[in-house]
Chain A
Amino acid sequence: MSNFSERWAELPDLLAGHMRLSASALCIGIALSLPLGVLAARRPKWRGPVLGVTGLVQTIPSLALLALMVPLLGGQIGFVPALLALTLYSMLPVLHNTVTGIQEVDPGLTEAARGIGMTPWQSLLRVELPLAAPVILAGIRTASVWVIGTATLATPVGAQSLGNYIFLGLQTRNGLAVVFGCVAASLLAVAFDRLIAVLESAAKERSRGRLTAGLLGLALITFGSLWPAFDFTSSLDTRGPALVGSDAPKVDRGDALASVVPGRPITVGSKGFTEQYVLAELLGEQLTAHGFEIDNRPNLGSTILFDALREGTVDVCIDYSGTLWATILKRDEPAPRLAMQIEVASVLLQEHGVVTLGSLGFENAYALAMARKRAEELGVRSLTDLARVTSQGQAMEIGGDPEFFGRPEWSRVRAAYGLEGIETRGMDSTFLYGAARDGQIDVITAYTTDGRITAFDLQLLEDPDEVLPPYDAMILLSARAAGDPGLVRALKPLLNAISNEEMRVANRAVDLDGATVASAAAALRARILD
């Protein structure tokens, strides 16, 4: 129940974010599509290209379109890229129906309009658009349902929406949050669908009463959901009223070194999995306790997050040395743990202006894991043992996230230990641990800090040759944040404070024991700062 009430408390802000995004995208989309549609209906030469281009946009998967906007906008995350993608997405149905609606107007009536002396403009406004209105409204109805549904996918590019529930729920295996997000977004879409259908029938039957009722309903639902956004003391924050606005704890700013740019909150970015949520919460609490205002941007895609950090739209985040080594430095040769950290830190600073504050102390690396019972039966403790068993003719299958099998470290592990005979099966990381526990798969790729390793009694296989690369969790700062001594001082106590086991306990609390991210982060913070 406490879980439900927490979800409920977040609703006003997320709903406001969702509505702000959807309503703006729809308004801009309609404002662009109507004139374009009229033009395309009047000029057959324009029709093909205009409908073709918008149709092409529609074929791009919505998630990809959203993610593409971030690099196209030079690394900007949040409202603007999401708005742009959704606007493009809303255009086809409106455009298509405007063209069809105008073309379907009886040519006898357009001739009559000309015949009694209307200019083309008067004919459009007084005859063609009113007669095409029901068809155009049907297009707007389709667009609004699409946009409200697709807006849930804006979470990974850093825009607040009801999708935050869904992504958080999927990553932390919180079914209630997923259902909550889906139901909320669906209700919103259905409400828009029904209200615009009322406008449609009003246009068909020239009913002023129904027109007023429909418009009133739309205005009510739009401004009703936007209400929290009008409250200028609050910021759009995922954590709900508890940390929002004037109630936010105002801790002493005695050190007088808080934010260099007063008024602008510190943006904490994170990727979309449990550990990142917990760490973002930890960073947020630590900064709040030192008098900073926090803006949370959870669920960002990995490269989106780094781009945002480089552009300064995100100020603080946690990333892993091995990930940065491969994706930002584009290096694939192995390197010792400390050497990699130093190399990564220097390249990030020199080439990207991103400051590495230091590492948190734990490593969220790839490791291979087996159910303990099965490992003991086979006498497997290390990758060397695994290779021996495989070469003796034991059929073994390894499951892992598809990304891992494409990485150079997998080919190196395979070559170094002689694991060529092992079968691989790609699957979502969510299901891996349970599959290993239940004996559905022999070996899995695991993250060393995942709470399920201890909970499911899995054994991590040793890597005696140190072939798997290190993944030290590091605090990264934007140039602006790094220039703020108060912020640096606030975060210093977190450096080298979290062990693998501490992180595993926190992850496990969220993933398996149903604790909220906030409570797991608070517990972790209490333990490490004692």
Chain B
Amino acid sequence: MALHLENLTKRFGKAGPLAVDDLSLEIEDGKVLVLVGESGCGKTTTLKMINRLIEPSSGTVWIGKDGSRVDTCLLDPVVLRRSIGFVFQEDGLFPHMTVAANVGITPSLLGWTTDRIDARTAELLKLVHLDPEQFAKRLPADLSGGQRQRVGFARALAAGPSVLLLDEPFGALDPLTRDHLQIEFQELQRKLGFTAVLVTHDMAEALLLGDRIAVLRDGKIIAEGTPRDLLQLGPSQGDADRAYVDDLLATPRRSAQRLEHLIRSGENPA
């Protein structure tokens, strides 16, 4: 499924500031788009307008493939959300349900049989490297942060969605776990081929995971392209937005340069 955001605008309240300001964006089928920016830039609002958790003030979200696309505001929001996976910032697992019940919830809303849900749940837990025998009957409170987010991924993928939305999915994890899960996410995406929109404030993560990256500032896209496009942007020359993108890129650049230097000087970087 491809997504096309067209002139999306969101204003909270009648006279509130514009959270998202006339934003347009194309996301190709099977690709990962990363929305990156500081908190309050409108990236999460944009994400939630895609599955209508937040209704746009104006503008359109088109969803579809090869010319047969549909305006999402014509769809039943409940049906729309069941067909799109969502991974929440703080895992969003229901604390009163077991791991298996959490993973199987969308299939159960869709009316699958118990046997089919059980089989699917076991399959998904294996996919996110959790042993069903060991984890299915546990409650979320008994899991580590990384295990919980793995369950969160499994739940989002349960009904086999072709679009996955991820709201800072690795933000609450320690660096090592984050690293593992980022790699697992990439593997999953390549294996299953879903289209993904991922929100983060971490430019290194954006460069690592995105096929394309959109940089948001004050509800507007100030830079958009492949990771390579962004890294090859010229000097800012007094342009404030360009300078802002440079700032975001500074930290990963420094890390990369340091690594390169260490490798060239013959020392072991690890």
Interface residues of A (CB under 8 A from B): 108-109, 111-119, 122, 126-127, 130-131, 206
Give the residues from 40 to 54 in chain B that come closer than 8 angstroms, CB to CB, to chain A.
Answer: 51, 53
Given contacts A108-B88, A112-B88, A122-B109, A117 and B96 within 8 Å (CB-CB)? no
Find chain B residues with CB under 8 A from A119 CB: 78
Other than the known A109-B94, A117-B109, what 15 A-B pairs have Cβ atoms closer than 8 Å? A109-B95, A111-B88, A111-B92, A113-B94, A114-B81, A115-B86, A115-B88, A116-B81, A116-B82, A116-B105, A119-B78, A126-B94, A127-B94, A131-B95, A131-B96
Q: Within the assembled complex, what's the spacing in Å between the Cα atoms of A68 and B139?
A: 51
Closest-CB distance, A156 to chain B (whole angstroms): 45
Known: A111-B53, A206-B139. A117 touches B92 (CB 8 A): no
Residues of B within 8 A of A122 (CB): 109
B60 interfacial by beta-carbon distance below 8 Å: no
Let me know if A115 and B96 touch, CB within 8 A: no
Residue of A114, A126, A131, A206 touching B53 (CB-CB under 8 A): A114
The 9 closest A-B pairs by CB, nearest first: A117-B82, A112-B92, A117-B81, A115-B86, A130-B96, A116-B106, A112-B88, A117-B78, A119-B78
A119–B106 alpha-carbon span in the complex (Å): 12
**Contact residues, B74-104 vs A (CB, 8 A):** 78-83, 86, 88-90, 92-96
Return chain B residues, CB-CB under 8 Å to A118: 78, 109
Given A117-B109, A122-B109, are A108 and B92 also a contact pair (CB < 8 Å)?
yes
Q: Does B220 contact A (CB under 8 A)?
A: no
Q: Tell yes or no: B201 within 8 A of A by CB.
A: no
Complex Cα gap A109–B93 (Å):
7
Enumerate chain B residues within 8 angstroms of A127, measured Cβ to Cβ: 94
Query: Could you write out 27 A-B pairs with CB less than 8 Å apart?
Result: A108-B92, A109-B95, A111-B53, A112-B86, A112-B93, A112-B94, A113-B94, A114-B53, A114-B81, A115-B51, A115-B81, A115-B92, A116-B81, A116-B105, A116-B109, A116-B156, A117-B78, A117-B80, A117-B81, A117-B106, A117-B109, A118-B78, A119-B78, A127-B94, A130-B96, A131-B95, A206-B96
CB neighbours (8 Å) of A111 from chain B are 53, 88, 92
Separation of A122 and B109 alpha carbons in the complex (Å): 9
Residues of A contacting B150 in the complex (Cβ-Cβ under 8 angstroms): none
B80 nearest CB across to chain A (Å) = 8
Q: In the complex, what residue of chain B is closest to A127 when comparing beta carbons? A: B94
Q: Which residue of B lies closest to A118 (CB)?
A: B109
Expressed in whole angstroms, the minimum distance between the Cβ of A136 and any Cβ of chain B is 14
User: Which of chain B's residues have a CB closer than 8 A to the CB of A108?
Assistant: 88-90, 92
- C-alpha spacing A114/B88, complex, angstroms: 12
Min Cβ gap B163→A in Å is 13
Q: Which residues of A contact B31 (CB under 8 A)?
A: none
Give min CB distance, B199 to chain A, whole Å. 13
Contact assessment for A116 and B79 in the assembled complex, using a CB-CB cutoff below 8 Å = no
Q: Is B120 an interface residue (CB 8 A)?
A: no
Contact of B217 with A by CB under 8 A:
no
Name the residue of chain B whose CB is nearest to the CB of A203: B96
Chain A residues contacting B139 (CB-CB under 8 Å) are 206
B148 interface hit (Cβ, 8 Å): no
How far, in angstroms, from A117 to B163 measured CA to CA in the complex? 14
Q: Is B155 an interface residue (CB 8 A)?
A: yes
Chain B residues with CB under 8 A of A114:
53, 81
User: Which residue of chain B lies nearest to A111 when distances are taken between CB atoms in the complex?
Assistant: B53
Interface positions, chain B 5-59, Cβ under 8 Å from A, are 51, 53
Which A residues lie within 8 Å of B80 (CB)? 117
CA distance A119 to B109 in the complex (A): 9
